[in-house]
Structure 1
């Protein structure tokens, strides 16, 4: 499964057509977002003026929109990954940037963690016969849609703790 997640932990794009043995970067490169992200993010940045840092330094005034990814993905203008620890430790600025990027990735990890913990069907390999294998992408997509619905209705509360992510039951599900 490859997904684009926003800072609110909503799944914006999900690609569930590939088996888990296929590398993340290959799945992304063959997805609609992977093929069109440069165009989509360039147009979004142009239409909205791109990011804007309040540093006063002209060279940092326009930051392009980008997707934040883990180290399995290739860096590009619109795909940014964190630095290797050894590389980040060589430079204080790179180390601080790496720390900020890792913090932003927390929402992505939480989205997957909450989806797996609330929909137990994702907590282990999905058992299905070969004839029903084509139902798996539909099932995973439905879980992501339900996940987004709960967030959009704002009926749940997220409580991040050191030992994991807890999600309080929704009042209308408990009835």
Structure 2
């Protein structure tokens, strides 16, 4: 499980959970999850959105997570045509979550160790994953060639989203596949 910022950098990484464990239970047991759920996480001050309503900064999550003041998840299930605003919200939240998928995709494309089973002790695998995430963050900051423009989505001048190349075409993996492969290596 990971928290990724808008620059595709890992801000929190939790590795070593069992492959059968759900994201919400991994989150609740992690130091990051505990800090969020207990209200002890430090976040930037609330800011006004364009209509001057002041709102907190939030983390985007999928439907496996609880809706909290600072955790936004999609509206559940089959929304009707009349629920246009909710459907648009779900779509935009999904687009925001793609940043995490893209970060995992960049990681897998650049650190080839994730393209095959890692044959090490579990503790060593944990260290390898964390080290690669740290190196990823460093290289993302220092080397513009590390993440070519076509790796991630872009926005045109008229604010249309230009999709990046799908990770499955670049690496044979999506962010979900990389995460699942990592988990399966931890508990074969």
TM-score by length of 2: 0.73
RMSD value over aligned CA atoms?
2.2
Structure 1 residues 26 and 159 mapped into 2: Cα distance closer, same or farther (>3 Å)? same
| Aligned residue in 1 for 2:127 | 138
Q: 1:163 Cα deviation (Å)?
A: 3.8
1:117 to 99, 106, 109: 109
Contact 1:65–1:78 under 8 Å retained in 2: yes
Q: 1:105 Cα deviation (Å)?
A: 1.1
Q: 1:71 Cα deviation (Å)?
A: 1.6
Larger C-alpha radius of gyration, 1 or 2?
A: 1
Partner-residue secondary structure (3-state), 1:107: helix
Contact 2:150–2:165 under 8 Å retained in 1: no
Structure 1 residues 145 and 89 mapped into 2: Cα distance closer, same or farther (>3 Å)? farther
TM-score by length of 1: 0.78
Q: 1:96 Cα deviation (Å)?
A: 1.5
1:40 aligns with 2:38: no
Show structure 1 runs of 5+ residues with no match.
168-175
| Aligned residue in 2 for 1:147 | 136
1:159 to 150, 156, 166: 150
Contact 1:88–1:94 under 8 Å retained in 2: no
Structure with more relative contact order (C-alpha pairs < 8 Å, separation 6 or more): 2
How many angstroms apart in 2 are the aligned matches of 1:88 and 1:40? Answer: 36
Show structure 2 runs of 5+ residues with no match.
152-163, 172-188
Q: 1:14 Cα deviation (Å)?
A: 0.6
